[in-house]
Structure 1
Amino acid sequence: MYSEVFPYFRKFIKEVNSEFDFDFVPKDYWLESTPFQEALILENMKMKGYKLHNRQKPWNLKHSLKAMTTYGKFHALSFAIKDQKPEVFKHLTKSVQNSGKYINFEYLNQSFGSHLRNVLKLLKSANRNDLAIKFEEKFESIIYTPLEENDKFVIGHGDCWNNNFVFKYRNGDETSPSKVILLDFQMSTWETPVYDLAFIIYMTSDKSSLGRLDLLLETYYESLSKSLRILGSNPDEIFTFEQLKQHWKKYSAFGLRLSSKLLKMELMNDGDVPDLEKMVEENVPFEDWFNIKSEALEEYNRRILNVFIHYGENFL
C-alpha cells in the first residue's frame, strides 16, 4: 500500500482536485522492502494528539460515525480511479491481496466454525432459539459467501479492529472525536466496501450504535458520494445507495464471522494476550490461542449476543 497504492492516490488527487484531503493515513517517511523483510517509518500520530480508544470498550455512536465518514473518503479514491483510470486501478489491485483467492469453506470452517457454534449455544441459553435455528439454517453461507468478481470495487483497509484507528479529540472530550487516522494496511484486499464496514461495525459498536445501522450506512454513503463528486466521478453511475444495501445484505456476515473470534482477542487484558510466536514454537492448538478469562468471557458473551441478535433480527 505504501509503495504503490498511496503514492498513486496522492498523484491522482493532484490531477483531479487538490482540495480533496488525503488526511486519514499517517505520512510515510521511509520504506524498504526485500523478499523476506519490510521496514516502514511512519509519522508519529501520538505526537499530534491522537490516541487509541480502549480496545476493551465498544465505541459510542460518534466514534462509529467518524469511522464511517473516513471510510467513505478512503473508498472513494478506489471508486474514482476505477472509474476514470481502469487500467491503473487494475494494476494497483495486483499489489494487494486478492480476496477469496485462497479462501474456501473448509478453511474458514476450521478457523471460525467452533466460535460460531458456541454463539448459537449462547443464543439458545438466552431464549433466542428462534434465531439459533435461523443461523443454523444459514450456517454455511455465514461461514463462506464467495465474493463475486463484479462486486470487487475498492482496495480496502482489511484489518479493521479497534487498535488500527487512532482518534483526536477537542478540549479533552473523549466521547466525540474530531478526527481519525487509519493504521496498518498489511491485510488490505481488493474487495467489496462492505467488508470494511461490517468488520468495524460488528467488532466495535455498542448496542445503541448497532440499533442505528441505517444511520451508519447513510453516513458512509453521504461521505462516499460527496468525495466522489469532488474527485470528478458520479456516484449515481458508479455505486448507488441501493447497491450498498444489497452488498450489505449479501456480504455483511463477513463481519459477523470475524467478530465471533476476534472479539475475544480484543477483550483480553494486556497480560493475557497470547504470545503467538511462542505458541507456534510450542505447537499450541490454534483454538487454544483464544481462551480468555471468565471476566472477559462474560463481556464477550454480552457483546457477541448483541451482534448476533441484531443481525438475526434484521438480516435472516
Structure 2
Amino acid sequence: MTCELLQFLKNALGIHSADNFRMVVHTPNKKGDGFLGDILFVTLEDSHLAYHLVVKQAFTDASVREMHPIRNVFLNEIHFYTNIWPRLDQFQARVPERYRFQNLPRCFGASAEERSERIVLENLKRQGFQVHDKKQPLDGEQYEMIMKVYGRFHALSFAYKALHPEEYAGLQLGLRNAFWDLLQRDFFKRGNVETHRICLQGLSGVDDAVTEKYSRYPERCNDLLRESLDCRTEYTVILHGDCWSNNVMFKYEESGALADLRLLDFQMSKEGSPCCDLSYTIYSGASKPILQNLDSYLHVYHDSLSSTLKAFGCDSDRIYPFHQLKKDWKRYCKLGFSMALMIWRMKLTEEGQVKDLQDMTKQSEEELRASAYDETEYRRITRDLVLHMFENDFL
C-alpha cells in the first residue's frame, strides 16, 4: 500500500525523476470526520522539496460499499475537480481578481479506479487554515464571509450558464445527485424519521400550533426532503452540496480577525437551488441571533452574487433577483433544515461515540441510537430551529 501510494502521489505531482522522495503519513483524521472514507495527511519530501498533502481514500469494505453510495460520491468529487472546476476557473479569468472564486483547496490528482478511488489535495493546515470547533455555532463574522464566498461561487455558475448554456448543461450532467442516492437507503430514511421524532418530543411546552404544524414531519420528512431536491426551476447552479461547518476551514490574522476561508468536500455537489447550500450552512451551524437576522445574511449573499454577475456583464435582477431568492428559500430550505437536525446530533456526540459508515454497517440500530450526545444542548438548538421555521412560515 505504501509503495503504491507513494508512486501514485509522485505521478499526481508530476515527479518523474528517480529522486529519493520519502513519504511520511501523519495522524489520520478523527473518526467520523471522513464519513465516506479515510483521510490521510501525508508529507512527500526529499532533501530539497516537501509537499504537504491530504489524501481522501474511499472505504474498500464490500459490505460498506454495498450499503452506501461511496463510489458515486467519489466520482462526483473527481468530476468536480477534474472537469467542472478547471472550466469554471478558466471562465472567470476574464473578470478582476476580487470577483473570482478561489476558496477551495488545490487538487493535484485523482483516481477513479474501482475500490481505489482517491483524491489528492493540498493540506490547508500548513497554510494556517483551521476547522471551527464543531460543537460551537459559527458567529456573524464567519457567516458574513461564508455568504460572500457562496455569492461568488454561485454567480460563477449563473454567469457560465447564461453565457455558455450548452457547455454548462454538459458540465452539470456529469454530477450524480448523491442526496437522491441517500434517500433510497433505508438507514438514511429511518435516521431522518427518528431525528424528527426526537425533535418533536423536545417541543414540550411550546405553543400547540407549533407542535401541530411540526407533527407531520416524522411521517413526511423524507417526502419533504425529496421535494427540496426536485429542483424544477430555472434558478439552479452547481452546488457545493455538503455545507456543514467541518467542510469550511478558516484562516485568521494575528489579531484574531477572520482573514480567509476555504470550502472543502464536493462529494455531494449537484445542480440545484442556491438555497440548498445556503440553508444547509445556516441551519447546521447558526446560533439563534443569526437565525433572527437571516434576511441580513441573505442580503450579504445576494450583494456578492450581484456584484460578481455584474463583473461578467450579467444582470442579477434578471438572472436571480432577491425576491426570487426569498421565494425559493421557503421551498428549498427544508433540505438544510432536515440535514441540520441530523448534523447537530453528530456535532454534539461525545468523542469516542462518533459513528462512521463501517459502524453503521456492523452495529444494530439500537447500538447506533445509543450514541451519547449532549441531549440538553441538542434540544435547545433544535427547538430554536423548529420555532424559526414556524415563525417564518417555512415548515
Tell me, yes or no, whether TM beats 0.5. Answer: yes
Deviation by residue 1:198-253 (Cα, 9 ceiling, x = unmatched): 11111000111111101111111111111111122211111100110010011111
2:311 maps to 1:230: yes
Inter-partner Cα distance in structure 2 for 1:34 and 1:267:
36
RMSD after superposition: 2.3
Rg larger in 1 or in 2?
2
Who is 1:130 aligned against? 209
Q: Post-superposition shift, 1:255?
A: 1.1
Q: Post-superposition shift, 1:27?
A: 1.3
Q: Which has the higher contact order (CA 8 A, sep 6+)?
A: 1
Inter-partner Cα distance in structure 2 for 1:152 and 1:106:
28
Deviation by residue 1:32-71 (Cα, 9 ceiling, x = unmatched): 3223332222122111111110001011111112111111
Counterpart mapping for 1:235-314 below 5 A: 235-280=316-361, 282-285=362-365, 288-289=367-368, 291-293=370-372, 296-314=374-392
**SS of the counterpart of 1:37?**
coil
Deviation by residue 1:71-102 (Cα, 9 ceiling, x = unmatched): 11111111111111111111111221237755
Which stretches of structure 1, 4 residues or more, deviate above 4 A after TM superposition? 99-109
Inter-partner Cα distance in structure 2 for 1:143 and 1:95:
23
Inter-partner Cα distance in structure 2 for 1:95 and 1:25:
20
> Structure 2: which amino acid aligns with 1:298?
T
Match of 1:203 among 241, 261, 284: 284
**SS of the counterpart of 2:309?**
helix
2:122 maps to 1:40: no
Partners of 2:177 and 2:268 within 8 A in 1:
no
> Structure 2: which amino acid aligns with 1:307?
L
Q: How many residues matched?
A: 309
- CA separation of 1:288 and 1:190: change in aligned 2, threshold 3 A: farther
Inter-partner Cα distance in structure 1 for 2:318 and 2:391:
32
**SS of the counterpart of 1:272?**
coil
Q: Post-superposition shift, 1:105?
A: 9.4
Identity %: 30
Q: Post-superposition shift, 1:109?
A: 4.7
Q: Scaled by the length of structure 1, what TM-score is found?
A: 0.90
Q: Post-superposition shift, 1:24?
A: 0.4
- CA separation of 1:66 and 1:290: change in aligned 2, threshold 3 A: farther
Structure 2 residues without counterparts, runs of 5 or longer: 1-79
Who is 1:115 aligned against? 195
- CA separation of 1:214 and 1:265: change in aligned 2, threshold 3 A: same
Deviation by residue 1:137-181 (Cα, 9 ceiling, x = unmatched): 5663644425232255111011111110000111242xx422110
Inter-partner Cα distance in structure 2 for 1:276 and 1:150:
34
2:84 maps to 1:5: yes
Partners of 1:142 and 1:257 within 8 A in 2:
no
Who is 2:33 aligned against? none
Match of 2:248 among 165, 175, 178: 165
Match of 1:153 among 236, 241, 257: 236
> Structure 2: which amino acid aligns with 1:268?
T
2:166 maps to 1:87: yes
